[in-house]
Amino acid sequence: MAFKTTRPLRFGDCDPSGIAYFPSYLNILVGVLEDYFASIGFPWRKLIDDRRIGVPTVRLDLTFVKPGLQGDDLEFVLSVHGVGRSSLDLEHQVSANGHVLWTARHRVVATSLDTHTSMEWPDDIRAALTSHLETTDAHHPAT
């Protein structure tokens, strides 16, 4: 089941011509990922402060299709495509005004904030992530 949310493309997210500045997209994407984790019951503040779990990006492959313009409402669709021992494979589609602007393949990894090494997803988080897999036979390609 995909997670969907909308974010405005603001003046500060754009270059002087009013076109989205791509690093701003990444900042917005991090906020969407944070909201996704909150939506499945694991707000980052609790992950970080209470459970000492980080979720850094280890791979991000973006494909830009059309420019986003200042004032666009960006429609984000985040899909879970694989849950590994410590990794999570996501796909993102970002649209505005009915047109795809960009897509991304994204891998994050659960890490211990005490040792700064990867760690297995705790069972409760793994169960929540797995329940959002796009297909019942999805698996992590490295497993």
- Catalytic residue numbers read 15
Strands 3-8 and 57-64, by their bridges, are unpaired
| Length in residues, the chain | 143
Query: Measured between alpha carbons, how far is 86 from 110 in angstroms, rounded to an integer?
Result: 5
Q: Can you read off the two tokens belonging to residue 53? A: 């779990």
Query: Measured between alpha carbons, how far is 87 from 64 in angstroms, rounded to an integer?
Result: 25
Burial of 72 (0-12, 13-18, 19+ CB in 10 A): buried
Query: Measured between alpha carbons, how far is 1 from 130 in angstroms, rounded to an integer?
Result: 10
